[in-house]
């Protein structure tokens, strides 16, 4: 039986309290836990051994989805099941509901939260292994070791950013509220991430993600396509989120394309986005954009299927996402 390492457990009622506790117990490597579906497996494999856990499940007003003048607010502790079934999201932001539905499997989605989903650890099949396994290859840079087995000459870790909802929230220009022990700030979801497999979150370790704000859709249409071996359970080995806003005549006014699971952070395909503006989503421009968009994808050999294949698929999936959007 895989078991958790021992820890002390606190269940604060407010995010501010939680943040303070994280700060106070920093020496005990305190961590927040929401659904635990990402953290607990990691703890069982000893990727993390916090001596203190701050459970967020008692936080007041931490769940639910609400519409207001500026758009919609999704509270951090809302489960993925709630996100996928929410009527507001299904009506106005179906891509968010879809991305949530594509996470793992239904039972896990009853437990996993959207806040947790934005903060999940990066993945690598040299890293997502038991302690003994990692020890037998002398560990790696991300945890307890020196070098990166995927790219031995690389100064950084290439573990893969694997959240399904992050790319969709990014193409919708969503922001999130972070509550720290002393300050509250609101930042674009995009700026949560950092291109480094170890230091992948720009959130402070004592900040709690309490809310996600998605601006009014204003005719912005979005979609999300996910590649994985099985139609359930599996993490993305490639994800493509795309959003398009067009003028009446179909001319693209705004385009967003974000790739996930091909780098240590979600990758925005800025060149392709720029290329599309002012164009119509014809087959030619779609292909052109796809040819540009997949370039920043840097999949390596640390997840399922070959990296050359995943890179190729990035192009195919971008084209497919755009084609879907072109159909309105």
Partner 1 sequence: MPPTKTDVAPEQSSPAQEAEPLSIIGKPLMKVDAMAKVAGETLFADDLAFPRMVFCKMKRSPHPHARILNVDTSKAEVLPGVLAVLVGSELPIPFGILPVSQDEHALCLDKVRFVGDPVAAVAAVDEETAEAALEHIDVEYKVLPSIMSIEEALADTDEPIHASERIDGNVHKAVTLQFGDVEEGFAEADVVREESFFFEGNTHLPMEQHAAIAVYGADGKMTVWSSTQTPHYVHRAMAKVLEMPPSRVRIIACPNGGGFGGKSDPFNHEMVVAKLSMKTRRPVKITLTREEVFYCHRGRHPVKMWVKTGIKKDGSITAMHFRSFLDGGAYGSYGVASLYYTGALQTVTYKIPRYKFEGLRVFTNKPPCGPKRGHGTVQPRFAIECHLDKLAEEIQKSPLDIRLEKVVEPFSTTANQLKIRTVGLKECLERVAERSDFRKKHRNLPRGRGIAITASSYLTGAGLPIYWNKLPHSGVQLQLDRGGGVTAFCGSTDIGQGSDSVLAYIVAEELGVEVEDVHVVTADTSLTPVDLGSYSSRVTLMTGNAAIQAARRLKPLLLDPAAEKLQVPVERLAMAHGKIFDRQYPEVSMDFAEAVVLAEAKHGTLGSTGSYTPPRSRGRYKGAGVGPSATYSYSACVLELEVDEDTGWVKIEHIWIAHDVGKPINPLLAIGQIEGSVYMGLGEALMEEQVFRKGVHKIPSMLDYKSPTFVDMPPVTSILIETLDPQGPYGAKECGQGPLLPVIPAVPIAIYDAVGVRIDETPVSPDKILKALEGRLAKPTVPEYDFPPPAEVPPMREDS
Partner 2 sequence: MKHLLNLSVNGEPVEVAVPLHHTLLEVLREDLRLTGTKHGCELGECGTCTVLVDGEPVLSCLALPIELEGTEITTVEGLTKDGRAHPLQIAFAETGAAQCGYCTPGILLAAKALLGRNPRPTRLEIQEALAGNLCRCTGYIQILQAVERAAAADPADYTKPISV
Ligand X SMILES: Cc1cc2nc3c(=O)[nH]c(=O)nc-3n(C[C@H](O)[C@H](O)[C@H](O)COP(=O)(O)OP(=O)(O)OC[C@H]3O[C@@H](n4cnc5c(N)ncnc54)[C@H](O)[C@@H]3O)c2cc1C
Q: Which residues bind ligand SF4 (CB under 6 A)?
A: 124, 126-127, 140-142, 148-150, 157-159, 197, 302
Beta sheet of 8-10, edge-to-edge order: 8-10, 52-55, 31-33
Binding residue for partner 2, selected from 108, 195, 291, 305, defined by CB under 8 A: 108
132 binds partner 1 (CB under 8 A): yes
Give me the 208-247 binding string for partner 2, x by CB under 8 A, dash otherwise: -----------------------xxx--------------
Q: Pick from 97, 87, 315, 38: which is nearest to 224 by CA?
A: 97
CB of 68 to partner 2, least distance (A): 28
DSSP 1-27: ---PPP-EEE--SSHHHHHHHHHHTGG
Residue 187 makes contact with partner 1 by CB under 8 A: no
Residue 191 in contact with partner 1, rule: CB under 8 A: no
Q: Which of 120, 150, 259, 313 binds ligand X (CB under 6 A)?
A: 120
Give CA 39 to chain center in angstroms: 14
Token pair listed for 47: 């990727």
Task: Single out the segment in contact with partner 1 by CB under 8 A; choices: 28-36, 51-59, 225-233, 252-260.
Answer: 225-233
Q: For the chain, where are the alpha helices, taking DSSP H only?
A: 15-24, 39-44, 80-85, 87-92, 94-101, 106-111, 114-119, 131-136, 165-171, 270-276, 283-293, 307-326
- The number of beta carbons lying within 10 Å of the beta carbon of residue 179 is 23
How far apart are alpha carbons 160 and 170 in whole angstroms? 17
Pick from 39, 174, 214, 276 the residue near ligand X by CB under 6 A. Answer: 39
Q: How far is CA 190 from CA 45, 51, 138, 168, 186, in A?
A: 29, 31, 34, 10, 12
Distance, CA of 20 to CA of 179 (rounded, Å)? 10
Among 21, 65, 74, 119, binds ligand X (CB under 6 A): 119
Indicate which of partner 1, ligand X, partner 2, none lies near residue 76 (CB less than 5 to 8 Å, by partner kind).
Answer: ligand X
Nearer to partner 1, 187 or 305 (CB): 305
6 in contact with partner 2 (CB under 8 A): yes
Tell me if 218 sits within 8 A of 207, measured CB to CB.
no
Q: List residues bridging with 208 in a β-sheet.
A: 179
Residue count, binding to partner 2 (CB under 8 A): 29
Choose between 37 and 326: whose C-beta lies nearer to ligand X: 37
Q: CB 147 → partner 1: shortest distance, Å?
A: 12
Token pair belonging to 263: 């780098």
Question: Which residue ranges make up the site for partner 2 (CB under 8 A)?
Answer: 1-9, 11, 35-37, 40-41, 44-45, 55, 57, 104-108, 110-111, 231-233
Chain residues that interact with partner 1, rule: CB under 8 A? 1-3, 105, 125, 128-130, 132-133, 135-137, 149, 227, 229-235, 304-306, 308-309, 312-313, 316
């Amino acid at each position: 039986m895989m078991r958790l390492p021992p820890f002390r457990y606190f269940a604060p009622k407010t995010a501010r309290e939680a943040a303070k506790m994280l700060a106070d117990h920093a020496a005990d490597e305190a961590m927040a836990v929401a659904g635990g579906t990402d953290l607990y497996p990691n703890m069982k494999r000893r990727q993390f051994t916090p001596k203190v856990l701050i459970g967020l499940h008692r936080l007041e007003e931490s769940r639910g989805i609400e519409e207001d003048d500026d758009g919609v607010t999704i509270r951090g502790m809302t489960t993925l099941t709630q996100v996928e079934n929410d009527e507001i999201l299904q009506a106005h932001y179906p891509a968010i509901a879809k991305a949530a539905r594509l996470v793992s499997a239904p039972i896990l989605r009853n437990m996993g939260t959207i806040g947790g989903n934005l903060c999940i650890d990066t993945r690598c099949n040299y890293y997502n292994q038991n302690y003994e396994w990692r020890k037998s290859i002398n560990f790696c840079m991300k945890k307890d070791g020196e070098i990166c087995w995927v790219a031995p000459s690389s100064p950084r870790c290439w573990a893969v950013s694997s959240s399904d909802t992050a790319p969709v929230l990014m193409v919708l220009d969503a922001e999130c509220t972070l509550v720290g022990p002393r300050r509250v700030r609101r930042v674009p979801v995009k700026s949560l991430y950092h291109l480094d497999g170890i230091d992948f979150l720009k959130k402070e370790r004592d900040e709690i993600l309490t809310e996600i704000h998605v601006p009014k859709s204003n005719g912005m249409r979005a979609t999300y396509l996910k590649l994985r071996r099985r139609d359930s359970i599996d993490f993305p080995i490639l994800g493509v989120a795309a959003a398009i806003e067009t003028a009446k005549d179909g001319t693209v006014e705004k385009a967003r394309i974000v790739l996930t699971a091909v780098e240590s952070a979600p990758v925005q395909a800025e060149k392709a986005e720029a290329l599309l503006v002012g164009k119509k989503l014809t087959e030619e421009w779609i292909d052109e954009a796809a040819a540009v968009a997949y370039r920043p994808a840097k999949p390596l050999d640390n997840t399922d299927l070959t990296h050359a294949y995943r890179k190729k698929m990035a192009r195919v999936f971008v084209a497919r996402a755009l084609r879907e959007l072109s159909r309105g």
